[in-house]
Amino acid sequence: MSDSVLLYAIIYLAAAAICVPLAKRLGLGTVLGYLGAGIVIGPQLLNVAGPSDKVLHFAEFGVVMMLFLIGLEIKPTILRSLRRDIIGLGGLQVVVTAAAIATVAIALGVEWHLSVALGLVGAMSSTAIVLASLDERNLLAGRGGQSSFAILLAQDLSVVPILGLFPLLATVQAVEGFRFVPEVSQTLTLWQQYQPIFKLLLTLAMAGALFTAGHYLLRPLLGLLARSRSREVFTLVALLLVLSVAGLMELLGLPPALGTFMAGVMLAESEYRHELEAELQPFKGLLLGLFFIAIGASLQLGVVTANPLRFLLLLAAILSLKLLVVLALARLFRLPKRAGFIAAFSLAQVGEFGLVLVTYGRQTGVFTDGIANEVATLIVLSMFVTPLLFIALERLALPRMAERNATRPHDAIRSHNAEVVIAGYGRFGQVIGRLVRVAGFEVTVLDLDPEMVDMLRKLGQTVYFGDASRHELLEAAGCGKARLFVLAIDNPDTSLEVAALVRRHYPGLPIIARARNRQHFSALRRLGVERVVRETLASALEAGELSLQQLGMRAHTAHRLATTWRAHDQANLENMLGYHDQPQDAWIDEARRAIENMEQAMVEEAAGMGALHDRGWATDAAPHRTSPAGTRQVVAIRPPGHDR
């Protein structure tokens, strides 16, 4: 057995090492990578996974740990600030989706206990996949992304009561799961002796007891450990804590995950939250990875190939049902249409928590092996479909929405003779717009973020919703008569598109453009945009100037140095424009020469007002660090590369 442990460890890790990066590369996310790895080594394909059931039982500890970490995340303050979205929108999503699925199942003749359990499983979405996908598409910070986040958080939280509820839904003989403590005797296991309703009460009582005990005992203990400054001991105790809470719960016949969740919550406000999180995160990651591989390996994909049509219909049914529920709730909560669609499309799949619940349901006698396998397969399929749903969202749903939205405000642009047109009104454009307006110039602003536009309008600013990459909109905004076009769009692709459009249709209109980086800068300059500002340069230089001051340099000297640096950097950048299509060697030679020239120039500037302070003055060659009271400490600047 010990040989095979090593062998299986190698097989599992190798499969993960190959499949996870591949899945990430394909935009599928790590969870699907693990599941894919499991399917590959599972009985369907290579059949080298060995006793995946045993591995699964062991890996369930990853789930227990995950719940501890989720508990740690639950800070009452966060819950309060998001309570409307989490409890209202999120809570309703779980309840309504579960009820809808259960109703359909009952209508199809499924026994009601089982139907409810299936509904609860189906209400879950994939936190891991959805958050990563939204983030990737820059949608997470928007209203749609935030609503999705709140719903996912509500789902994560609802896992806890669902775990407590599952034993009540048991209709079949439970299968043995992973145990933290060996079963000593039947009499010790209270689980078998109490009626379900007592189990629930006991669960709640235990949760309360854990919460109180932990607050008064654990925090002082952790404080003692933290003061001992021994990292290993802290890790060890964190693990010990989670294991013993899980073990204790199991001794009482209660769901271990529930106990660790409560332990997490009670430590969420403690000062050791971040340490505990950091110490346990790697364990959780590994074990959860193992958990998903094992699930993938245990899937009996035969059920799909046996009746593909049935599975396809089930899949379509569950996806559309979940999608419609979120859409309806979004309307009920008066979310913007766009936000509602984003949330609905991203949350349509069933997620990893569903898999957790299926596994747990199998152990508590809610699902038979056969049903558990079918449901798990369906869940995994729905997860694999998620990227397609995101493509549908981006290609079909959102563009149409933008069309419909755009007709609302942009036809309302008054044809006043604005002297300045600003495209893009985020943090960057707003500063420009306000400054130019204060100076008394008429400004027309275009932005594509409907929420931003509404917000700024409420603040009394003249802002129009509109896509600056459309010619007719530029014309409506008055580009034909304007004296200046400010291109403050952050996305480089969009920015270049608009720049090209303005250059083509309004060749005489001066453009001042914001560039994200050097590549964007060069591309804009090559398009013929005369004045391009790199977006973080000025603030970085200001911070550099402050740093020099903090190090004891005179403020004005630091300012001159920073200004000199900026001028040379700018000149170099302009100079490099001519080299972008040259062979790389020529480009590198030139870049190297530019850096040397710049260093030379900085050395000269660092010598201070050298021209003024010639030999006629009593000057110091050596730096000194004494300073008179009432003035800043004075040091001579040391040019780089000189001896100390």
Partner 1 sequence: MASILILFAHPAFEHSRTQRALVAAASNLPGVTLHDLYEAYPTFHVDRRAEQALLRRHDIILFQHPLYWFSAPALLKQWQDVVLEHGWAYGEGGLQLRGKVALHAVSTSAAEFEPEQGSGPTCNVRQFLSPWETTAQLCGMRFLAPFVVHGFRVDTHPEQLREAAANYRALLEALLDGRVDLDKAAARPALNFDLGDFIRPPAGAA
Instruction: Output 386 or 557, the one with its CB closest to partner 1.
Output: 557
Q: Does 636 bind partner 1 (CB under 8 A)?
A: yes
Between CA 434 and CA 429 the distance in angstroms is: 9
Q: Out of 109, 460, 628, 640, point to the residue binding partner 1 (CB under 8 A).
A: 628
The DSSP symbol for 175 reads P
The residue with tokens 């720049």 is 499
The residue with tokens 């290579």 is 46
Q: Does 639 bind partner 1 (CB under 8 A)?
A: no
Instruction: Output 388 or 609, the one with its CB closest to partner 1.
Output: 609
Q: Does 638 bind partner 1 (CB under 8 A)?
A: no
From 178-186, 291-299, 512-520, 550-558, span contacting partner 1 (CB under 8 A): 550-558
Structure tokens at 144: 């749609």
Q: Does 608 bind partner 1 (CB under 8 A)?
A: yes
Task: Looking at residues 334 to 353 of the shown chain, list those that interact with partner 1 (rule: CB under 8 A).
Answer: none
| The Cα angle at residue 593 between residues 588 and 594, in degrees rounded to 5 | 95
User: 560 CB contacts (<8 Å, ≥6 apart)?
Assistant: 605
Q: With b meaning 16 or more CB within 10 Å and e meaning fewer, what string describes 431-462?
A: ebbeebbeeeebbbbbbbbbebbeebeeeebb
DSSP 3-state assignment of 625? coil
Structure tokens at 519: 């590549």
Task: Looking at residues 117 to 146 of the shown chain, list those that interact with partner 1 (rule: CB under 8 A).
Answer: none
Q: Does 110 bind partner 1 (CB under 8 A)?
A: no
Q: Does 614 bind partner 1 (CB under 8 A)?
A: yes
Q: Out of 108, 629, 641, 643, point to the residue binding partner 1 (CB under 8 A).
A: 629
Q: Does 606 bind partner 1 (CB under 8 A)?
A: no
Q: How many CB atoms lie within 10 A of CB 546?
A: 13
From 89-97, 135-143, 466-474, 548-556, span contacting partner 1 (CB under 8 A): 548-556
From 334-342, 375-383, 404-412, 556-564, span contacting partner 1 (CB under 8 A): 556-564
Q: Does 630 bind partner 1 (CB under 8 A)?
A: yes
Q: Does 216 bind partner 1 (CB under 8 A)?
A: no
- Distance of closest approach, residue 605 Cβ to partner 1, in angstroms: 12
Instruction: Output 105 or 636, the one with its CB closest to partner 1.
Output: 636
Structure tokens at 601: 């120039």
- C-alpha distances (whole Å) from 243 to each of 100, 256, 446, 587 are 37, 9, 57, 59
| The Cα angle at residue 618 between residues 615 and 621, in degrees rounded to 5 | 80
- Distance of closest approach, residue 631 Cβ to partner 1, in angstroms: 5
Q: Out of 184, 508, 612, 644, point to the residue binding partner 1 (CB under 8 A).
A: 612
The sheet that has 511-515: what strands, in order across it? 463-465, 443-447, 420-423, 484-487, 511-515, 531-534
Between CA 461 and CA 454 the distance in angstroms is: 10
From 102-110, 366-374, 532-540, 617-625, span contacting partner 1 (CB under 8 A): 617-625
Q: Does 605 bind partner 1 (CB under 8 A)?
A: no
Task: Looking at residues 486 to 545 of the shown chain, list those that interact with partner 1 (rule: CB under 8 A).
Answer: 545
CA 195 to chain CA centroid, Å, is 43
- Distance of closest approach, residue 431 Cβ to partner 1, in angstroms: 18
Q: Out of 10, 281, 619, 638, point to the residue binding partner 1 (CB under 8 A).
A: 619
Helices (H), 108-230: 112-123, 127-136, 143-165, 196-213, 219-228
Q: Does 613 bind partner 1 (CB under 8 A)?
A: yes
Q: Out of 182, 616, 640, 641, point to the residue binding partner 1 (CB under 8 A).
A: 616
Among residues 462, 446, 513, 510, the alpha carbon closest in space to that of 484 is found at 510
Host H or E run for residue 485? strand 484-487
Instruction: Output 385 or 634, the one with its CB closest to partner 1.
Output: 634
Between CA 368 and CA 174 the distance in angstroms is: 8
Between CA 148 and CA 130 the distance in angstroms is: 8
Instruction: Output 6 or 612, the one with its CB closest to partner 1.
Output: 612
Instruction: Output 266 or 562, the one with its CB closest to partner 1.
Output: 562
Instruction: Output 277 or 605, the one with its CB closest to partner 1.
Output: 605
Q: Out of 50, 554, 564, 571, point to the residue binding partner 1 (CB under 8 A).
A: 554
Structure tokens at 176: 């043995």
Instruction: Output 278 or 555, the one with its CB closest to partner 1.
Output: 555
If you write DSSP's letter for every residue of 188-215 in order, what string do you get? Answer: T-GGGTS-HHHHHHHHHHHHHHHHHHII
Instruction: Output 80 or 615, the one with its CB closest to partner 1.
Output: 615
From 95-103, 236-244, 459-467, 628-636, span contacting partner 1 (CB under 8 A): 628-636
Question: Are 299 and 39 contacting, i.e. CB atoms less than 8 angstroms apart?
Answer: yes
From 16-24, 193-201, 251-259, 611-619, span contacting partner 1 (CB under 8 A): 611-619
If you write DSSP's letter for every residue of 249-260 in order, what string do you get? Answer: HHHTTS-HHHHH
Instruction: Output 406 or 548, the one with its CB closest to partner 1.
Output: 548
Question: Are 340 and 114 contacting, i.e. CB atoms less than 8 angstroms apart?
Answer: no
Q: Does 635 bind partner 1 (CB under 8 A)?
A: yes
Q: Does 585 bind partner 1 (CB under 8 A)?
A: no
By rule CB under 8 A, what count of residues binds partner 1? Answer: 29
- Distance of closest approach, residue 545 Cβ to partner 1, in angstroms: 8
- Distance of closest approach, residue 567 Cβ to partner 1, in angstroms: 15
- Distance of closest approach, residue 574 Cβ to partner 1, in angstroms: 24
What is the C-alpha radius of gyration for the chain, rounded to an integer number of angstroms? 31
Residues that bind partner 1 (CB under 8 A): 545, 553-559, 608-609, 612-620, 623, 628-632, 634-637
